[in-house]
Chain A
Amino acid sequence: MDPVEESTKKGIRDLGIPGVSSVKTAKKYIIKGGISDSELDFIGEKLLYNKVIQHIGDSHSETADMKIQKGEVAPYKFKLINVDILSADDIKLSEISKRGQLFLNLSEMKTIKEYFRKLGRNPTDCELETIAQTWSEHCKHKTLRGIIEYKEENDKIRIFDNLLKETVMKVTKELNKSWCVSVFKDNSGVIKFDSKYNVCFKVETHNHPSALEPYGGAGTGIGGVIRDPLGTGRGAKPVLNTDVFCFGPPDYPHDKLPKGTLHPKRVMKGVVAGVRDYGNRMGIPTANGAVLFDETYVGNPLVFCGNAGLIPKDRSTKKILPGDLVVLVGGRTGRDGIHGATFSSGELTTESETISGSAVQIGNPITEKKVTDTLLKARDRDLYRAITDCGGGGLSSAVGEMGEETGVKVYLERIPLKYKGLTYTEIWISEAQERMTLAVDPKKVDALLEVFNKEDVDATVIGEFTKTKRLELFYNRKKVCDLGMGFLHDGLPKMKRPAEWKPVVISGPQIKEPKDLTPSLLKILASYNVASKEWIIRQYDHEVQGSSVLKPLVGKDNDSPGDACIVKPVLGSKKGLIISNGINPRYGLIDPYWMAASVIDEALRQIIAVGGSLKEVAILDNFCWGNTDKPDRLGSLVRAALACYDIAKGYGVPFISGKDSLNNEYAAGVGGESIAIPGTLLISAMSVMEDVTKAISMDLKEEGNLIFVVGNTYDEMGGSHYYYINDSVGSSVPKVNTRYGKRVMEKLSAVVDKGLVRACHDCSEGGIGVACAEMAFAGGFGMEIKLDKVPFKGDHKRNDTLLFSESNTRFIVEVPRKNKKKFRAAMKDVPTGLLGEVKNSEKFKVISVDGKTIVVDASLKELKSAWQDTFRNF
């Protein structure tokens, strides 16, 4: 399906010419030179076109649907397919699962066989697919909800019946915050916003599709997560997008590239463009994000997309009654995205590109925008009772879930198709995009359909909810699926997996302390993870909806790195929404526990840094891990989850939603060892801000103001960027103490609220050195800071440690001289150090601990150029 076709046909109709039935667009490349046909094919396939959605032809070639229209290709003829599992032995069962791309293991296949043995019949292909979709890792999270036998080195085995319930969800339950409206049950987590609205937030990943087809994969990633708030309660208005990407290094050597993978630079450019084109067209500001680089992401990039939505308080829940009609709204169904959910539940291999190519969905943001506009209208008129999105697993998941408590009948031939030829099973499991499913009171269905028809959105009654607690599917009156909801949703055998974590012994590097730390500072500023991502940020409309308060780029030239972003989703109100994120896979190389602790701390720090408080902060978890069938991968995940409980509980911040993506490994060929990504936890945080006019930004504001560091520095260089530029990891990973950390954040938040602070920046990658340098060039003011004023807990007071250690819960703040006493008094229980003052100069200087030498001497221009030059020509 060509997205331009629909628009062009409309334009032609508007001209008063009614006869055009089909329009095709093509791109022509004129290639000259001495190359063979096979080389030409190779160029086409690897560079020019995406074989999932495009094909190569000459100007006379015809597409499949043109041929169908001319009667050259026969449309689909119904034939019921049964799969013989009753007579299959274990080997055969595994084979059926593998051949059908079901990704079901043997014990699951045996459970299914047993169910059908009792029924005395074989399943249809559609039934088997439905079970596979419903039981997929993507939909059921069976690893983390299964039994885990966890062991740390010499400890006893600890059994988890359901890891998520016993860690992240437990925090929320125990904290029991009155402002949490709906947690862990709907498509996104919901908290209170103001007297009229609640807000919801969800972050998802779209890793495997983005690895195969970066542009389409990432675009449908953002498109998919937007439908989560839209499918929450009775529908939220999307107000903010976030995106966090992990790629291989852009300068990765081509000859080292594993077979079947795209070069990181191509992946990066495709992903960035995909999210841009979808997000911008949806008219949702993309105002927060991060981009990280590591060699281990070469075969398996990570693409996290998030969306926050605003929902009226009285539309925050849903209910389905027997007799309600099933209405499908939005995009048409095609063959795209078949097996997406099951495919994402396996490892990527060199073959993935070929076998699972059809797993990539094709997006059309304008369709989704139309769906959003009309749905919110129908919602406000109270025309439907429940809504959910068609995501992984397509209708199979959406309708299957909605009908879980009641039962449902669906007539598959009623579903509008993009083109003919789809089998009943393909219709049912297609992950075609931009579709939402509604439960509608029959009395209201005409009014509902009219709302959509008026704005040219497809809406079709495709079935009804029943009382039978069965999933019944028909194709032209022939029954093709009849499954008990009980078996479908609860029949999955509990998985039992071993998990193990052994402390990694990495000896600290022996780095001789350089006399001059200027080159190190410049190198960290220029490193891929720290360097300016302005080239990406500017491609995203971060101001549409008119809501932006703190933009991702701040400072005197609008080009410096802000901490959290703030939007004001209700125009004319002062109430704001602060969004931040924390991610740092390098710490996880040493200890996933402290990585998780650190990234929670980081997400919270950013909220405090812009003027927020810990009072109403909700967080989301996104675990992206390797193949958790392997005990070491699962063990490290367990350890991170344990930290999630401890740290979130300590800080008093509940998790409201989350998602995991396992099997992020790349198996490089037969017998090749698979490469796992480093366990990567993204924490996204959302907080409500009473009065956005109290917000502050990180850029220095005025000559003569004082610079304080808030919080203790420890000798915590493990996983730091200082070690990174010295090609090492180290072992002294930053830790978190929430009793102390909470005090620091609460006190600082209070002084910012009182208006005593002009600028604040959190210390993360690159520590105090990078934070201070960024504040200086952002504000265009010089700075001279003294390292002996840094509150330090440790034995070796080295200059490089003080400047670059990445200890958590630290901030650099700018305080006007006149507020010094008040600031000091308010912060008396918190370690602070007066580092220096804001100077009206072009110089950034750092004085050594002994006060005798200048260890950093750089101009603002040098610092800023180092930070900006890395991606300047991208």
Chain B
Amino acid sequence: MGKARAIILRAAGTNCDAESAFAFEKAGAKAELVHINQLVKGEKELKNYNMLAIPGGFTYGDDIASGKILANELKYKMEYDLKRFIRDGKLIIGICNGFQVLVKAGLLPNLDAEFNMEVTLTLNDSARFEDRWVYLKNSNSKCVWTKGVSKEIIYLPVAHGEGKFVTKNETILKLIDSEGLVAFRYADQNGHFGGYPVNPNGSMDNIAGICDQTGRIFGLMPHPERCIEATQHPRWTRMPKNGEGDGLAIFKSGVEYAKKEL
């Protein structure tokens, strides 16, 4: 068994880095916070890690569009290292703003394998930022990051203003589904789909998180790192005091894969 070494990428406006690092460590990885400038200048090297996490926040103020500027930076200043990281079979997770970065950099879903932007995350139907908890239906996808999620329905918070998943066209939407790239869909606690607020932002086909064809790159709007400990659940005072939050299984899945395969 190898070691799971996660790099938690920071940039101006990143703000879920500390709790994401905590989640990785709790799942058994060694997590390190690294600023994008350190990578660009070569002070740190991506190849020394086997997991890359792009955490939530408002990178560069989400100016122009959410995640756009960091996506641009990754694409134009980190292209070689990033492609090698992917080619080496390593893992990437983007949460909330990180998901926005991944789709805007063309890393997700990357159906054409050319890193073109095929989907986007845009302004919520409610036209405002909202923080609320949502149920997610675990689809049977290729995603490596959800292999260890044993529950059919999990419960996590979303907190975003631009989370509405939209594909470029109908074909892409169908392909994402048929290729088994949809990891999570917004649903109610019984697994039924519905309108707002069950689907909190108006996402197409209720999509909350997707992976690429390899299953190793994963992005989702909800925040698994905010549901690691029992007391983070909004109704923990109504429930028996149990062990861990639903989000931890996602990090554990990644870490386990990294240890076994990388």
Contact = CB atoms under 8 A, between A and B. Distances in A.
Contacts of B23: 546
Given A7-B64, A11-B72, A366 B18 contact: no
A92 B225 CA distance: 64
Nearest to B58: A281
Interface stretch (A219-227, A464-472, A690-698, A783-791): A690-698
A544 B14 CA distance: 11
Contacts, number: 142
A276 B76 contact: no
B44 to A, nearest CB: 12
B106 interface: no
B141 to A, nearest CB: 26
Interface in B109-146: 128-133
A607 to B, nearest CB: 16
Interface stretch (B176-184, B208-216, B232-240, B254-262): B232-240
A555 B226 CA distance: 19
B237 A543 contact: no
Contacts of B12: 366, 369-370, 455-456
Nearest to B59: A366
A14 B80 CA distance: 15
A547 B226 CA distance: 8
A3 B63 contact: yes
B72 A7 contact: no
A671 interface: no
20 contacts: A10-B73, A11-B64, A14-B73, A280-B129, A364-B61, A365-B58, A366-B58, A370-B13, A454-B37, A456-B12, A538-B132, A543-B159, A543-B223, A545-B15, A546-B18, A547-B19, A556-B235, A572-B22, A572-B26, A695-B231
Contacts of B133: 558
Contacts of B37: 454-456
A701 B26 CA distance: 31
Contact of A11 (B13, B35, B68, B225): B68
Contacts of B61: 3-4, 7, 281, 364-366
B74 to A, nearest CB: 9
Nearest to B61: A366
Given A280-B159, A282-B15, A366-B58, 5 more contacts: A551-B234, A554-B235, A558-B132, A693-B230, A699-B237
B237 A14 contact: no
A539 interface: yes
Interface in B136-163: 157, 159
B129 A541 contact: yes
Contacts of A364: 61
B241 interface: yes
B195 to A, nearest CB: 16
A14 B77 contact: yes
B98 interface: no
Contacts of A693: 230-231, 241
Instruction: Give 4 closest A-B pairs by Cβ, nearest first.
Output: A283-B15, A546-B19, A7-B63, A7-B60
B172 interface: no
Interface in A561-611: 568, 571-572
Nearest to A549: B231
Give the interface size bracket for A toward B. Answer: 35 or more
A554 B233 CA distance: 10
Contacts of B72: 11, 14-15
Given A14-B73, A543-B226, A546-B228, A280 B58 contact: yes
B94 interface: no
A198 interface: no
B219 interface: no
B115 to A, nearest CB: 15
A350 interface: no
A366 B157 contact: no
A373 B14 CA distance: 10
B249 interface: no
Interface residues of B, number: 48
Contact of B63 (A4, A537, A542, A554): A4
A543 B76 contact: no
B166 interface: no
Contacts of A281: 13, 15, 58, 61
A568 B229 CA distance: 11
A568 B231 contact: yes
Given A543-B159, A571-B18, A276 B69 contact: no
Contacts of B202: none
A692 B231 CA distance: 8
B153 to A, nearest CB: 16
B129 A539 contact: yes
A545 B13 CA distance: 14
A50 interface: no
Interface in A243-287: 276, 280-283
Contacts of B241: 693
Contacts of B231: 549, 568, 692-693, 695
Nearest to B26: A572
Contacts of B73: 10-11, 14
A544 B35 contact: no
A455 B35 contact: yes
A117 to B, nearest CB: 51
A542 B69 contact: no
Interface string B14-35: 1110110011001000000001
A556 B57 CA distance: 29
A16 interface: yes
Contacts of B159: 280, 541, 543-544
B254 to A, nearest CB: 18
Interface string A146-172: 000000000000000000000000000
A281 B15 CA distance: 8
B69 A15 contact: no
Contacts of A692: 231
Interface string B173-191: 0000000000000000000
A369 B11 CA distance: 10
B106 to A, nearest CB: 15
A261 B46 CA distance: 55
B248 to A, nearest CB: 12
B38 to A, nearest CB: 8
Contacts of A11: 60, 64, 68-69, 72-73
B130 A539 contact: yes
A8 interface: yes
Contacts of B129: 276, 280, 539, 541
Nearest to B35: A455
A8 B64 contact: yes
Nearest to A370: B12
A669 to B, nearest CB: 37
Given A8-B63, A539-B130, A16 B223 contact: no
A281 B16 CA distance: 11
A501 interface: no
Nearest to A16: B76
A548 B60 contact: no
Interface in B69-92: 69, 72-73, 76-77
Contact of B22 (A8, A546, A558): A546
A702 B71 CA distance: 49
Given A7-B61, A11-B69, A558-B133, A543 B235 contact: no
Contact of A558 (B26, B35, B228, B234): B234
B224 to A, nearest CB: 10
Contact of B238 (A373, A542, A699): A699
A15 B76 CA distance: 6
Interface in A1-36: 3-4, 7-8, 10-11, 14-16
Nearest to A698: B237
